[in-house]
Structure 1
């Protein structure tokens, strides 16, 4: 059984008639449901400075078009945010050998869905990828004699 969180908002209008003992109350209710939580999120094509992230939209019967968001956090600091019309993101400008928290969610005019999070560690480059194969060194000797 699936439960959906609904936020019920009431707009109450009170109109007092000529008779002070009679009050007419008009109540309008409107159900508002935030977007579904993203599911099946995964990262792939991870390099030392980039990654791709894909998710699937959760089950929904919403008529509103969602926008998908990702926040890349390092510790408590958000270092990158992206928005997309599809739950797919290409991340760049990451640093090698770092731990990141990826927080993805959907939003629309009526609210924001729950976050789905992943932990990502970018690989550290191998020494041969960083250091040149040959290093030329020029020595000059001055002999006094």
Structure 2
């Protein structure tokens, strides 16, 4: 999701809700604690220099159970963040604390904002000798271990 899509999605909403990929909702008293510009300048394993720039939102929850982020307040935060983000329509990355800080993409289903899974990938598969066929990552359990695997 891009910043312009987020702003458009907030218009007309009565409440801002975020849902994890598991379907579980973030507590209603979450805060947007940071909006930042994250730039990465790196070289992939094939020697190609690359740049990446995203808008990063950090979601956080605390004992402030009366806190509710209204859509208009979120739009105000986005307006303030233009000092840092500029006018570029950046992709959004969301940080949310779980066992460790998770990084997610963002989507909107017409009612709720959905944190989407992100995955790593080799950007220079030809240089590494990796065939062009799809590479499926193993599905890790969300809780409790793999059935019959002897794990946990």
Using the size of structure 2 for normalisation, the TM-score is: 0.23
Larger strand proportion, structure 1 or 2?
1
Larger helix proportion, structure 1 or 2?
2
Using the size of structure 1 for normalisation, the TM-score is: 0.23
Larger radius of gyration: 1
Structure ranking higher on relative contact order (CA contacts 8 Å, 6+ apart): 2
